[in-house]
Structure 1
Amino acid sequence: MMDTDPGLDTKWLGRLLKQRFHDDKPVDVLNVNVEPAVPKGEGYTSDIFRVRITTLSASGTTKTFSMIVKRGKNFESNEHLGLSSVFRNESKMYSSTLKHMEDLMNEFDDKRDILWPKLYGFKPYSNMVLEDIKDQSYQLMDRKNWLGLDHALLVLRGLGRYHAMTRALIERGLIGPDDKGNFWATELGQKLIAGSMAAMSKTIVQNRGSWTPKWTEIGKRLQAMADKMPHLVGQLYENYDKKFEVLNHGDLWTSNMMFRLMEYTDIPISVKFLDFQLSHMNSFIWDVMQFICEAVKPSVRRANKDRLLIAYHQSLSENLKFFKCAQIPTIEDVFGEEKRIRHAQLTFIAISAICISSVDGAFNLDKLVGGNFEEAFNPCLYEGEKYVSQIGDDLEEFERLGVI
Structure 2
Amino acid sequence: MPPNNSNESRKLENPNEFLVIPKWINEDYFRPIIEKDVKDFRSIKNFTPIAATQPGDNYTSVMVRVIVDIELKDSSEQQVSYILKTTLEMDKGGDLVAGMNLFPKEKQMYQVHIPNFVRLYKEAGVDIELAPKCVHIDESPEGITLVLEDLKQQNFENVDRLKGFDMEHMRRVIRKVAELHAASAVTYEQNGPYDEMYSRSLYSESNRHMFEGLGKMRHQQYIKAMREWPLPDVEEYIANLPSPTEFFDKGIKLNSVDENEFNCLNHGDLWCNNIMFSEDRTLFVDLQVGRWGSPAQDLWYMITTSPSLDIKVKEFDHFIQIYHTRLVECLKLLKYSKSIPTLREIHVMMIKYGDWGPITMSGVLVAVLMPSDKDSSINMMMAPGPEGDAFRYKTFINPYYVKAMVQLYPFFKNKGII
TM-score by length of 1: 0.82
Distance in 1 separating the partners of 2:67 and 2:221: 46
User: Does residue 1:216 correspond to 2:235, yes or no?
Assistant: yes
Distance in 2 separating the partners of 1:397 and 1:284: 20
Aligned length: 372
Distance in 2 separating the partners of 1:196 and 1:271: 35
Q: 1:361 to 1:234 in 2, by over 3 A?
A: farther
Contact 2:56 2:370 in 1 (8 A): no
User: Does residue 1:314 correspond to 2:332, yes or no?
Assistant: no
TM-score by length of 2: 0.79
1:7 corresponding residue in structure 2: none
Q: Which of the residues 153, 160, 174 maps onto 1:156?
A: 174
Distance in 2 separating the partners of 1:189 and 1:313: 34
Distance in 2 separating the partners of 1:154 and 1:249: 15
Q: Which of the residues 322, 336, 340 maps onto 2:352?
A: 340
Distance in 1 separating the partners of 2:202 and 2:292: 11
Q: 1:110 to 1:189 in 2, by over 3 A?
A: farther
Distance in 2 separating the partners of 1:244 and 1:134: 35
User: Does residue 1:171 correspond to 2:183, yes or no?
Assistant: no
Contact 1:143 1:355 in 2 (8 A): yes
Contact 1:146 1:297 in 2 (8 A): yes
User: Does residue 1:256 correspond to 2:274, yes or no?
Assistant: yes
User: Does residue 1:145 correspond to 2:166, yes or no?
Assistant: no
Note the aligned Cα RMSD (angstroms).
3.0
Contact 1:194 1:227 in 2 (8 A): no
Distance in 2 separating the partners of 1:60 and 1:387: 53
Q: When you count helix as a share of all residues, which structure comes out higher? A: 1
Q: CA deviation at 1:376?
A: 9.8
User: Does residue 1:233 correspond to 2:251, yes or no?
Assistant: yes
SS of aligned partner of 1:63: strand
Distance in 2 separating the partners of 1:84 and 1:395: 29
Select between 98-107 and 299-308 the one with higher mean Cα deviation: 98-107
2:395 corresponding residue in structure 1: 381
Q: Letter of the aligned partner of 2:285 in structure 1?
A: L
Any unmatched runs of 5+ in structure 1? 1-22, 262-268
SS of aligned partner of 1:303: coil
Q: Which of the residues 80, 89, 92 maps onto 1:65?
A: 80
Q: Which of the residues 106, 115, 118 maps onto 2:122?
A: 106
Distance in 2 separating the partners of 1:277 and 1:27: 34
Q: Letter of the aligned partner of 1:336 in structure 2?
A: V
SS of aligned partner of 1:54: strand
1:392 corresponding residue in structure 2: 406
2:369 corresponding residue in structure 1: 356
SS of aligned partner of 2:254: helix
Q: Letter of the aligned partner of 1:308 in structure 2?
A: F
Q: CA deviation at 1:206?
A: 5.8
Q: CA deviation at 1:201?
A: 7.3
Q: CA deviation at 1:80?
A: 8.1
2:14 corresponding residue in structure 1: none
Q: CA deviation at 1:156?
A: 0.6
Identity %: 20
1:16 corresponding residue in structure 2: none
Q: CA deviation at 1:60?
A: 2.1
Matches within 5 A, 1:63-142: 63-75=78-90, 83=99, 85-112=101-128, 114-124=129-139, 125-142=143-160
Select between 69-78 and 23-32 the one with higher mean Cα deviation: 69-78
Distance in 2 separating the partners of 1:40 and 1:104: 38
Contact 1:294 1:348 in 2 (8 A): yes
Distance in 2 separating the partners of 1:117 and 1:110: 18
